[in-house]
Every structure is written in C-alpha cells, then in structure tokens.
Chain A
C-alpha cells in the first residue's frame, strides 16, 4: 500500500485507472463457471487463477459485485467457534484475512478489535468455558474473562443490563476483527480479473444443463454458456439454484437484519456480542454503531426490513448501553441467510458430476470468505474435497454426521 501511494503522489496526472475493465461479451465455453459474484465467488475465482492456473473462468452475477450478503453483513471476523471442524476452518480464514491488504495492494481496513461474547447465565458461562478450552486446544487466543475486565475494556456498558440480566463474564477473543466487506470482494475480483478471469455482472443464471448426470453448461439471460464445471456460491439464493438440478438440501432461507446508528465519537473499540440478548454491536471507523440481532422468525425469501426488528434490537441494546436511547437509527437492511440445521456450511461435491456447492453460509459467511474461496478452488481443481471442508459435505445429514456448530452468531441456542 505505501508504495502505491508514493507512486501516485509522484504522478503528474490524477486519473486513477478503472478498477474493473469494461464489460465483454460472454464466451461460448469456459472451464469453470462460478454462479454468484460475492466475496466467496470472487475469492474462489482468485485462488483458481492464482494457485491452480485455471483462468478460463467466468463469474456470473445477477446483480452487481458484492451486492448480496457480502455487502449486508456486519463485517466481523473471528475464529472462536465451538467445534474442532469450525475452529480449524475459521482460523485459517482469519490468517488469510490478515494478509489480504498486501495481497491485493488495496486497503481492506482490517482492524483487530478484540471480541467479547457476554454470558448472562450459568449455562452461557459453561458454554464460554467449553469454547475457550476447544479454542486453546487449537492454539487460538481465546479466554474466559471476569466482569471487572469487561468493564475496564467497555466502560460505557451497563454490566447489570438494567438489572434484568447481569453480565457474569465473557469469552474474550483478542484477534476478533472487522474489515471493509466491499473491499474484500473488490480486491478478490480485481486480482482474479488481472489473472484472466471474466466477471459478468447483471447476468442471471436461469438453468443448469446436464447430460448423462454431468454438467454441460448454464443457461443465462444472455444466452447459453458451455461449462465443464459449475460452482454455486450464491448464499441466500442457493435453493433456487439447487432446484434447477433437483438437488434437495436442508437449507431454509431466513432474513437476517441489521442496522446502523448515526455516527458518534469513538467510544468503543471492541466488538460486543450477547448470545442471550441476541444482539451484537461494533463501532465502525466512521463512528456508526453497527448492530445486528438474530434471524427473522420464519422462512422468507426477501430482503425487506421490519419495525419489529428495530424495536426488539434497540430494547436489548438500551439495556446494554443505556445512552444509546439518545441515538437515531440511520439505516436498516436485510440479507437472506441460508440456514442449515447444524449451523455449519455445506461445501464440496454433489451427486451431479461437475456441480459443486458452497452454501449454507447462514449468518457466518463473511468471515469465511478467504478460506472458502481457497478450499473450494482446491476442491474444484482437484475434483476432491479439501481436507478442511470434508466435514461439511452435503451428504453428512444422510450419514447422521452433523457438525453441531453452536458458536455461530445470532442463532438461538
């Protein structure tokens, strides 16, 4: 980054080159077609080109780059999960995140904040100790801290929660971070494109064609495209894609809402999560409080916002931070989360030859962007699942080998 800045400073002209080149017509055939131009799709394209030398790749996106759940999450990155499978996977992601700004020569505003998961009950404390031990076993910086430590780090928080649900302790995860989510998608997209990958925005896949149980191409609203391999990386639209191939999955779509307040002076540099109150909050570099809660109560394929959500969230938030009653909510929005029964993703091969699935990202997709791209690229290039994603296969439910990831954000457990 500094080198680029210096070069820019010495240049006579001020025009920056276009970040993405102009649109090209679709080619007749590709080796790999990636459906979905969000963080995961772009990351997969990037690692396919960079690490496996596969560059005859098209990323087809029905909207615009990073316009789906990549741009709708609350940007938290952490690895203090509960299961061994989850911890190993997300820790690899966190390590990749730390180097992304340098890899891309683009500032992704990666900011290590420290992450408190509050416990208000004995059973929550027990889960925190359990998570801390699993984390430590895998060499992850994670510990249970007492009320005094939390109060010192987050002085504006009411530790009694208005006398309703006093904080008893917390799981503290020092590497917990936030990053600019759009920049992650843009960085991967530019890196992929520079290596020969084509990105086609406003191109909707309407059908996937097979011949003898093998993928032969995709039908789009811009015509048919031949493809040897097709990867679905579409988060909340997964069931619409799998329906094209009559693949059944345990995924159900629930809207996940979030909101931000007006900007205020920096007062909180940590990320605070309360599983019992179903809220999480961090302060963005612009000073806004970015807040989220649990998913909506019923299955729905929509990104509409509701007043019920803001009412419920702010009610809990005012218990934690009483002064927020004076703040105004500036924006609210929703994304479609593809929730699985065990709160872990579904990744890897399917029964249809040449069709790969990266789905079930529910409320935990952004933090997995780099590792999911990397492991899916490996899986597609070698036609065999990467070691880290073996536990996340679609067939695990039929084998009764569920992952049971209870460390996921904003899910009731």
Chain B
C-alpha cells in the first residue's frame, strides 16, 4: 500500500484519497475564445511529467495539491489546496 505524508494529517494511506485531476489555470470565462476554452477543457500534453494534482482526502473532506511524477508515481510535495488554517483566519 502506498502512503503519503500530509500537513496536519501525517502519514495516510493513498487509498483514503480520491484523484481530482491535474491543476490547470482556468481561462477567464468572459473573454476566452472558443479555441482557448477547448484547449483548456480537452487538449493537453499527456506525456509523462511532473504535475500538480488535486487529491481529496475523504475521511476529513480536505482537498490537497500533490506534486507527482506520472512516470515514477513519486509524490514530491503535498500542500493544502486552500492553504488550510492560514487562509481561514
């Protein structure tokens, strides 16, 4: 079983997480052209690379951002998607 160390939660089994896809900058919906929008929604470089990805921790309901390599499956960085408590203050 794979484990991942998260801020606040510590070492958790990866099976507790749901994959939420890669982090991509959403274009401004008011000004975006149709081509730029389909590029954002559909077209991408799917080759192996290091990506920022959304991962949802089901037991606590917290969204994280993992930096993960899609060839080696190594997770090199984990952070709160909303920067956690700092943001809520």
Chain A residues close to B by CB (< 8 Å): 238-240, 242-243, 248-253, 297-302, 304, 307-308, 338, 341, 397-398, 400
Contact = CB atoms under 8 A, between A and B. Distances in A.
Interface of B: 1, 15, 18-19, 22, 34-35, 38-39, 41-48, 51, 53, 68, 70-73
Contacts, number: 62
A249 B53 CA distance: 19
Given A239-B47, A297-B19, A308-B15, A397 B42 contact: yes
A391 to B, nearest CB: 16
Given A242-B46, A301-B71, 8 more contacts: A238-B46, A239-B45, A243-B45, A248-B45, A250-B44, A300-B73, A302-B71, A398-B43
B1 A252 contact: no
Contacts of A248: 39, 43-45
Contact of B42 (A242, A250, A300, A304): A250
Contacts of B18: 297
Given A240-B48, A307-B1, A397-B38, A249 B43 contact: yes
Contacts of B1: 307-308
Contacts of B42: 250, 341, 397-398
Nearest to B51: A299
A253 B42 CA distance: 14
B67 to A, nearest CB: 13
29 contacts: A239-B45, A243-B47, A248-B39, A248-B45, A249-B44, A249-B46, A250-B44, A251-B46, A252-B44, A297-B18, A297-B19, A298-B53, A299-B19, A299-B22, A299-B46, A299-B51, A299-B70, A300-B71, A301-B48, A301-B70, A302-B71, A302-B72, A304-B73, A307-B1, A338-B46, A341-B42, A397-B41, A397-B42, A400-B38
Contacts of A252: 44, 46
A398 B42 CA distance: 8
Nearest to B48: A301
Contacts of B19: 297-299
Given A300-B70, A301-B71, A308-B1, A253 B15 contact: no
